[in-house]
Structure 1
Amino acid sequence: MKYTNSWVEISKANLEYNLRQFKKLIGSNVKLMSVVKSNAYGHGLLEISKICNKNKNVDWFGVVNLEEALYLRKNKISKPILVLSYYDLDKKQITLAIKNNISLVAYNSKQIKYISSISKKLKKNANLHLKFDSGISRLGVFEKEIIKLAKLITISNYLKLEGIFTHYASAEETNQSFTLKQTKLLNELVSKLNIKVPLIHAACSAATLINKKYHLNLIRLGISLYGLYSIENNNLKNKFKLKPILSWKTKVIQVKSLKKGSTIGYGRTFKVKSNKEIAILRVGYNDGYDRKLSNNSFVLIKGKKCKLVGRVCMNLIMVDITGKRVKVGDEVILIGKQGKNIISADQIAKNLKTINYEVVTRINPLLKRIIK
């Protein structure tokens, strides 16, 4: 079931522009992975993947779990897919992964032995990527264990060590010393293994932009695939232009006049100090429009900023349209551009004291995603 209270529009042209920009940066010897985990950071897993599957600049897909990977295969996404995070050791699921040529992360011997046993029964090799914890203290294992796991993979006739990767802890920060250290540790580990490993990868969006040393032979393009930055460096942003691909829209469903002294919404948190006109919009926190934006944000109607008044409700919000000649049915921009004005995910994130990732990823996956 699709939920039609509000909707998301995706710019195919902007997505393809961002991919071209990154391919120019990394060159022909480095592969590009489109990270489409968590519903493509709220942009629409299948919608984004279909575009990327046909795009010559995309070599790989990165997903968070096996369910996402199998969903893509079921929907005819043909390029290589890597499951980057946790999966259950379920016979049916692992069998489907191997049959569908889905590469799996590995970070313990139990996984490797189990996958090897399934591969043997199928008489089909499974591709594994070892996850090296080089300092983030999250999913993955340290050097000594990686060496043991690599040996376990190489002695199996049914497993292929397709990749080794790590994840940076602070790639977006000005001080790059820890990211350089993590890269050094990864390179040293690969040298110690003395095994030919096709793919060595570490770079997220920020790392890709900041230093070519981080590119290795595959980058994992996440937030910046969608035209958003995770870095604060304005000089770098100005040099490397990205185009946001997401617009989030709704419509005006009612217009009403309020007299001085009226209050608006739950808790009566907004008191009308002079006669006002307000519009009621069909969007709320069920859509992913954060309740903390109550009395603390704007939307665009007819290209003009209209302030939120009152609390964000489950399915509705109210905005001040005094003097703006707004009518029922008018299109409303929650994120995006209208006329000369823009409301960005970054602006909303600033209001919420969070990051742009959270703003877009929390948009309800049941909302319709429309490719433009």
Structure 2
Amino acid sequence: MNDHARVSDWRPRADIDLDALRANVRALLERTTGGARLMAVVKADAYGHGMLPCARAAREAGAAWLGTATPEEALALRAAGDTGPVLCWVWTPGGPWREAVEAGVDVSVSAGWALEAAAAAGRAAGRPARVHLKADTGLGRNGSPPAEWPGLVAAARAAEEAGAVRVTGLWSHFACADEPGHPSIARQQAAFSWALEEAERAGLVPEVRHLANSPATLTLPESHYDLVRTGVAVYGLSPSPEIGAPEDFGLRPVMTLRAPLAAVKRVPGGHGVSYGHHYTTPGETTLALIAAGYADGVPRHASGTGPVLVAGKWRTVAGRVAMDQFVVDLGGDTAAAGDEAVLFGPGDGGEPTAEDWARACGTIGYEIVTRVGPRVPRVYHGERPWETWTGTPPGPGAEPGERPRETA
């Protein structure tokens, strides 16, 4: 057993390669067209990778915008010192609208009640709320439906004239951009073009128009407009195996999940393994116990299917994944307590990837990395010391978070 094959901590850990993240952002910027800028989406703790270190690295590599789901995420970025453009898009009645406006966070609006909440926050804060109006072009989640869109853009323009809001963005989101050739893609592009025309007729002049997510950034250059929103691709995962592997786009997975072997022992044939004895040893063999379980983010659905690199070979989870541990059968191979098991990583060291786990569990790579639990420490590699960190600097005389107005 080599020293480098041992895990220094007794718990599992996630190694986060920030140099890979920076390279991913640069690779994605190279694929943008028409001068479009890039938003790095850092919601859900940067897809499980750690929001603040990843946001800093993305800014440093050229991400002009950051994107979050919840207001708490956006406000945490501001509290950490970021002053660049940030968009937050999941809002509910009673949310911290005024706090977001005062922090210079751009807020997404999909309905009249949300526009009223943003305008009220702008009046209370004494500064216009920065608003992105979202159109539902076919995804069927948030976003204003076509029948309500003309009324929403007219109301937004009136709120602009009253000084309560400033419409800084117009946007929508693809449903099936990860399925090349899906008929909904063209329909959504046409619907978004119509939505932009309606907004223009209402007199709105946004700073940015944006439609493209990660798969559209990689495969639909005509959808790039002024800004692309890249989420999972920033972290080096492909948004869909159908459009290509990460290396096909110059991307490298950022997270490597490791765990130590807690025990290694010989057992006879016919020995039951883990709850329910869904696996019994076919003959005398060596079992290795890995100190990670579903409380750490190892999917219980990976029972009997999940791949792990142990002692230089791929193994498969033997029996059920428990809350804090699972077992692999080493057959005739040997290992020792403290040796390293690699659940997933970039794959160039022979280890499985997050996509391999996704296939084993019948899910997507997004879920595999995002579900890695908070008790798993993140160890950052390539982190650079910053006395302060800011995004795109505000223009002369602007308050934190504000930018000079642009035309679309």
> Residue in 2 aligned with 1:248?
257
Answer yes or no: is the 8 Å Cα contact 2:288–2:330 preserved in 1: yes
Match runs of 1:169-180 below 5 Å: 169-180=175-186
Does residue 99 in structure 1 map to residue 102 in structure 2?
yes
Answer yes or no: is the 8 Å Cα contact 2:67–2:88 preserved in 1: yes
- Report the 3-state secondary structure (helix = DSSP H, G, I; strand = E; otherwise coil) of the residue aligned with 2:175: coil
Match runs of 1:38-117 below 5 Å: 38-55=44-61, 57-90=62-95, 93-117=96-120
C-alpha change, 1:76 and 1:341, in structure 2 (3 Å) is same
Answer yes or no: is the 8 Å Cα contact 1:44–1:365 preserved in 2: no
- Report the 3-state secondary structure (helix = DSSP H, G, I; strand = E; otherwise coil) of the residue aligned with 1:143: coil
Answer yes or no: is the 8 Å Cα contact 2:307–2:356 preserved in 1: no
Select the residue among 313, 331, 352 that pairs with 2:340: 331
Match runs of 1:172-251 below 5 Å: 172-194=178-200, 195-233=204-242, 239-251=248-260
Gaps of 5+ in 1: none
Q: Offset at 1:72?
A: 1.6
- Report the 3-state secondary structure (helix = DSSP H, G, I; strand = E; otherwise coil) of the residue aligned with 1:71: helix
> Residue in 1 aligned with 2:393?
none
Matching residue's letter, 1:138? R
Does residue 267 in structure 1 map to residue 253 in structure 2?
no
Answer yes or no: is the 8 Å Cα contact 1:303–1:339 preserved in 2: no
**More displaced 10-residue stretch of structure 1: 336-345 or 122-131:** 336-345
Q: Distance in 1 between matches of 2:37 and 2:291?
A: 42
- Report the 3-state secondary structure (helix = DSSP H, G, I; strand = E; otherwise coil) of the residue aligned with 2:253: coil
> Residue in 2 aligned with 1:310?
319
> Residue in 1 aligned with 2:3?
none
Match runs of 1:128-139 below 5 Å: 128-139=131-142
- Report the 3-state secondary structure (helix = DSSP H, G, I; strand = E; otherwise coil) of the residue aligned with 1:341: coil
Q: Distance in 2 between matches of 1:305 and 1:236?
A: 20
Matching residue's letter, 1:298? P
Aligned residues: 367
Q: Distance in 1 between matches of 2:122 and 2:157?
A: 14
Does residue 163 in structure 1 map to residue 172 in structure 2?
no
Q: Distance in 1 between matches of 2:207 and 2:139?
A: 24
> Residue in 2 aligned with 1:149?
152
> Residue in 1 aligned with 2:308?
299
Q: Offset at 1:176?
A: 4.2
Give per-residue Cα distances to partners, 1:251-295, cap 9 Å, x unaligned.
Answer: 011111101222111111211221111111110011111112112
Q: Distance in 2 between matches of 1:237 and 1:70?
A: 31
- Give the percent of matched residue pairs that are identical in Structure 1 and Structure 2: 26
- Report the 3-state secondary structure (helix = DSSP H, G, I; strand = E; otherwise coil) of the residue aligned with 1:343: coil
- Report the 3-state secondary structure (helix = DSSP H, G, I; strand = E; otherwise coil) of the residue aligned with 1:367: coil
> Residue in 1 aligned with 2:39?
33
Q: Distance in 2 between matches of 1:59 and 1:235?
A: 26
Q: Offset at 1:208?
A: 1.0
Answer yes or no: is the 8 Å Cα contact 2:177–2:215 preserved in 1: yes
Q: Distance in 1 between matches of 2:375 and 2:34?
A: 37
Answer yes or no: is the 8 Å Cα contact 2:315–2:329 preserved in 1: yes
Q: Offset at 1:180?
A: 2.0
Q: Offset at 1:142?
A: 1.9
- Report the 3-state secondary structure (helix = DSSP H, G, I; strand = E; otherwise coil) of the residue aligned with 1:347: helix
Structure with greater strand percent: 1
- Report the 3-state secondary structure (helix = DSSP H, G, I; strand = E; otherwise coil) of the residue aligned with 1:86: coil
Answer yes or no: is the 8 Å Cα contact 2:259–2:291 preserved in 1: yes
C-alpha change, 1:33 and 1:338, in structure 2 (3 Å) is closer
C-alpha change, 1:314 and 1:4, in structure 2 (3 Å) is same
Does residue 120 in structure 1 map to residue 126 in structure 2?
no
Matching residue's letter, 1:271? T
Answer yes or no: is the 8 Å Cα contact 1:53–1:77 preserved in 2: no
> Residue in 1 aligned with 2:400?
none
Q: Offset at 1:246?
A: 0.8
Gaps of 5+ in 2: 1-8, 382-408
> Residue in 2 aligned with 1:24?
30
C-alpha change, 1:337 and 1:259, in structure 2 (3 Å) is farther
Q: Distance in 1 between matches of 2:197 and 2:206?
A: 10
Q: Distance in 1 between matches of 2:77 and 2:65?
A: 12
Matching residue's letter, 2:263? Q
- Report the 3-state secondary structure (helix = DSSP H, G, I; strand = E; otherwise coil) of the residue aligned with 2:20: helix
Q: Offset at 1:323?
A: 3.4
Matching residue's letter, 2:114? Q
Answer yes or no: is the 8 Å Cα contact 1:163–1:198 preserved in 2: yes
Matching residue's letter, 2:191? L
Q: Distance in 2 between matches of 1:30 and 1:101?
A: 22
C-alpha change, 1:259 and 1:72, in structure 2 (3 Å) is same
Q: Offset at 1:235?
A: 6.2
Q: Offset at 1:234?
A: 5.8
Answer yes or no: is the 8 Å Cα contact 2:286–2:334 preserved in 1: no
Q: Distance in 1 between matches of 2:328 and 2:230?
A: 36
Q: Distance in 2 between matches of 1:137 and 1:339?
A: 39
Q: Offset at 1:237?
A: 6.1
Q: Distance in 1 between matches of 2:288 and 2:379?
A: 25
